[in-house]
Homo-oligomer: A and B are copies of this chain.
Amino acid sequence: MSKVFSLSEAASIALHGIILIAQEKKGLNVIKIAERTDTSKHHVAKVMQRLVKAGYLTSQRGPSGGFLMRKNPKEINFLDIYETIEGPIEISECPMDKQVCPFNKCIMNNVTSKMTLEFKNYLESQTVEQYL
Contact = CB atoms under 8 A, between A and B. Distances in A.
A88 B114 CA distance: 22
Given A36-B102, A131-B103, A108 B4 contact: no
26 contacts: A1-B88, A2-B83, A2-B86, A2-B89, A2-B90, A3-B116, A4-B5, A4-B119, A5-B5, A7-B96, A7-B108, A7-B112, A16-B102, A16-B107, A19-B107, A36-B102, A38-B98, A38-B99, A107-B126, A107-B131, A108-B122, A109-B122, A111-B118, A115-B118, A115-B119, A118-B118
A98 B15 CA distance: 15
A7 B126 CA distance: 27
Interface string A5-41: 1110100100110011000000000000000111000
A67 interface: no
A120 interface: yes
A58 B19 CA distance: 54
